[in-house]
């Protein structure tokens, strides 16, 4: 099974590395304006395959995406220190206007997996440019924020993060919403589990975890210039779910007709992901404050997309 990656920068190359280490695809094609960069990454990654899985990694151009089941769009300019994801919008929308038609000309049946920030608005841009059904244009959304939330809760409770079920929804960015009210650990409500474990969650703990999730990207960018390992692993996981038709539930971003009174907006909610992309949305239970916050997040994203004409 072939996977294409358009954009061989930090995120694209980290995603390719995760695909190789996990053996997600049989063939990975890297496409980049800087063909020397794509070729160098492809060669380096190919040398990793004897230590991982038999994946054919090569550089190519758009026509080499023919037959790809998934094409990951990681093309665009990087987020600068102190820059919000939404400030990237104008620059990266112009990039997508040139990229999306070329991808679909070569691979018209592919699921488009969007990684470029601001990912929710870029998902809406890609959806409008592509003309595809909404479910076939999938943004990575808050999969990484959800992973951060679960990891920090697990650390506080001293349990495996795989036992924590909690979601972050809305924007992948400043207005994202941590769903505390529905969080569970091993099927037990978060508050009850924390008490039983002897690790109650104080308001200070909640604030610390919220900041740990919400501000993670800014800290990482300040320290090393970009985030790529976490999202690379997340994109590889989503790719595997699509290629294997797993029908797992992930907080990915998809163009949605209406969310909390806000119409036509791409944002993250728990979604069922299979071979054709997103098959269904599982709308979570929300308390009044979470509902208000999600409406605000949706409004911010809708305004940003509207400013571009999308």
Q: What letter would DSSP give residue 79? A: P
Task: Supply 177's token pair.
Answer: 């919403």
Catalytic site includes residue 156: no
Going by C-alpha positions, the residue among 71, 66, 72, 47 that lies closest to residue 57 is 47
Q: Is 296 exposed, middle or buried (0-12, 13-18, 19+ CB in 10 A)?
A: middle
Other Cβ atoms within 10 Å of 193 Cβ, number: 21
**What does the DSSP 8-state code read for residue 9?**
S
Separation between Cα atoms, residue 18 and residue 230, nearest integer Å: 10
In angstroms, the CA 8 to CA 4 distance is 11
Selection from 82, 79, 80 nearest residue 119 by Cα: 79
- 277's enclosing H/E stretch is strand 277-281
Q: Which residues are part of the catalytic machinery?
A: 172
């Amino acid at each position: 099974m072939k996977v294409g990656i358009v954009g061989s920068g930090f995120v694209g190359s980290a995603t390719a590395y995760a695909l190789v280490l996990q053996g997600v695809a049989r063939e990975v094609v890297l496409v980049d304006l800087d063909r020397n960069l794509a070729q160098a990454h492809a060669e380096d990654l190919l040398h990793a395959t004897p230590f991982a899985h038999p994946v054919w990694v090569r550089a190519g151009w758009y026509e080499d995406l023919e037959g790809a089941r998934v094409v990951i769009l990681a093309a665009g300019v990087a987020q600068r220190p102190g820059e919000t994801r939404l400030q990237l919008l104008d620059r990266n929308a112009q990039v997508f206007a040139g990229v999306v038609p070329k991808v679909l000309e070569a691979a018209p049946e592919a699921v488009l997996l969007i990684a470029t920030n601001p990912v929710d608005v870029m998902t809406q841009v890609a959806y409008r440019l592509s003309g595809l059904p909404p479910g076939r244009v999938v943004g990575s959304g808050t999969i990484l924020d959800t992973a951060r939330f679960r990891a920090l809760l697990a650390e506080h409770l001293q349990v495996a993060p795989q036992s924590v079920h909690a979601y972050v929804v809305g924007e992948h960015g400043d207005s994202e919403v941590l769903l505390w009210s529905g969080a569970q650990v091993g099927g037990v409500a978060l508050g009850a589990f924390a008490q039983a474990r002897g690790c109650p969650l104080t308001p200070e703990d909640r604030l610390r975890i919220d900041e740990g999730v919400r501000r993670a990207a800014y800290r990482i960018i300040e320290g090393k210039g970009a985030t790529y390992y976490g999202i690379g692993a997340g994109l590889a996981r989503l790719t595997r779910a699509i290629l294997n038709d797993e029908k797992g539930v992930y907080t990915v971003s998809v163009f949605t007709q209406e969310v909390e009174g806000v119409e036509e907006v791409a944002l993250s909610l728990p979604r069922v992901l299979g071979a054709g992309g997103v098959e269904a949305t599982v709308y979570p239970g929300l308390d009044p404050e979470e509902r208000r916050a999600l409406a605000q997040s949706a409004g911010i994203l809708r305004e940003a997309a509207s400013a571009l004409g999308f």
